[in-house]
Amino acid sequence: MPGLIDMHVHFRRKPTDGDTAYSRMPDYRERNDDTGVLFVANGVTSVRMMHGHPIGDELTARSRGDWLGPTIYSTGPITDGNPPVHPFNRVVTQPADAAKLVAEDKAKGYIGIKVYENLSLSVYDAIVDAAATAQLDVVGHVPNEVGLAHVIAAHQASIEHADSFLYSLQRDSPSTAAWADRTWHDALQRVDLERLTTFADEIRRAGIWTCPTIIVGQFDAPDYERSPEMKYVPAAFRAALHEHWTPEPFEEQRAFALAVVRRLHERGAGLLLGSDTYLTVPGFSALQELGLFVRAGLTPYEALQTGTINAARALHKQDTLGTVDVEKRADLLLLQANPLADVANVRKLVGVTLRGRWLPQSELQNRLAAVAKSVAAP
């Protein structure tokens, strides 16, 4: 079968003053190499990186060579309003600046402009207009001031995360101020899924992809840190679980995400495979996401499409990726069992062909063992 394409990933970055996010690590180069192995050992041969930055740019260049990691397609920096959600986001407050930042991202070879939660409506519209002129996709979150209906009308190329729908599905249509005071539990209790039917139809007609990252909700699951795949991630990640964890209704969050995916699928809207690593374990979480798609009502074939031909089309790379075909890039998985019978059979690898390089399962397992040893070292 074709290699999998994870459409929402992040990589580690270099530490900087004032930014203590655990995604920044002194040994970021080694950890990013580990991440590459984790992806490939789980059959992920291409990824869409959702945050352009200099370290990511270096990785993107390496992924065109002999790096043992997936081929990377990167958006530009996370583009946010003031105050930014994260200190490392690119802040834009004036519509007049939109054309400049879009031109910068285009010149750097990024595949799209990533928009974020605190963008103003006027800046968002200016970015959409400038991106259309530059022939770059606009992808990302649903900014709070913009709202889902406007994002759909603007034909944003992809909507990231199921929780991007939560604000617009509230029965009482709260103001931004009221929304800020609500807990996850309160917001989930006020969801009107019938509103989603109209949104889903509009999303289908607009040709917008949704990358729901259902799996990222497990970051709040009390037992996630005891998952077997945790042996492949740094201690800093496991420590972050303790710091991040809140008594939020994990099962309610997952039920909401599954309901969103189910309704989008029922109405024929396009879905994409995405794991939101580094909030989840690279590679392993992409395979778990496939299982969640099936749980939401997709057939195994439809679930596999989200990480193959759907993803290739969303990247505008369907001529080179997404199916097994003559003259397409040799990113291929050889399996022991049919994934159309059970999507979990994607885990039963005989080996992976990565950009024409054959990697038998024995080598992949040796590489995984080396990662586990590396992250366990003091």
| C-alpha distance from residue 354 to each of 46, 198, 358 (Å) | 9, 41, 6
For residue 83, whether the previous peptide bond is cis, meaning omega lies within 30 degrees of 0, is yes
Phi-psi region of 162 (alpha: psi -120 to 50; beta: other; left: phi over 0): alpha
Q: Is the dihedral of CA 76, 81, 86, 87 positive or negative?
A: positive
Q: In this structure, are strands 78-80 and 90-91 parallel, antiparallel, or unpaired? A: parallel
Residue pair 352/3 in contact (Cβ under 8 Å)? The answer is yes
Distance (Å, rounded) from C-alpha 27 to C-alpha 275? 23
Tokens of 263: 């309704």
Phi-psi region of 283 (alpha: psi -120 to 50; beta: other; left: phi over 0): left
Q: Which residues are within 8 A (CB) of 179 and not within 5 positions of it... i.e. 6 or more apart?
A: 144, 167, 170, 187
The predicted pLDDT at position 221 comes to 75
The predicted pLDDT at position 301 comes to 98
Residue pair 355/329 in contact (Cβ under 8 Å)? The answer is yes
pLDDT digits (tens, 9 = 90+) for 132-191: 999 999 999 999 999 999 999 999 999 999 999 998 998 876 555 456 567 778 888 889
The residue type of 91 is V
Q: What is the pTM of this model?
A: 0.96
Residues of the chain with pLDDT under 50: 177
pLDDT digits (tens, 9 = 90+) for 198-228: 999 999 999 999 999 999 888 777 777 778 9
Please calculate the CA angle 318-324-326 and round it to the nearest 5 degrees: 85
Tokens of 262: 């189910």
Q: Which residues are within 8 A (CB) of 178 and not within 5 positions of it... i.e. 6 or more apart?
A: none
Q: In what order do the strands lie in the sheet with 90-91?
A: 90-91, 78-80, 112-115, 137-140, 158-160, 209-211, 270-271
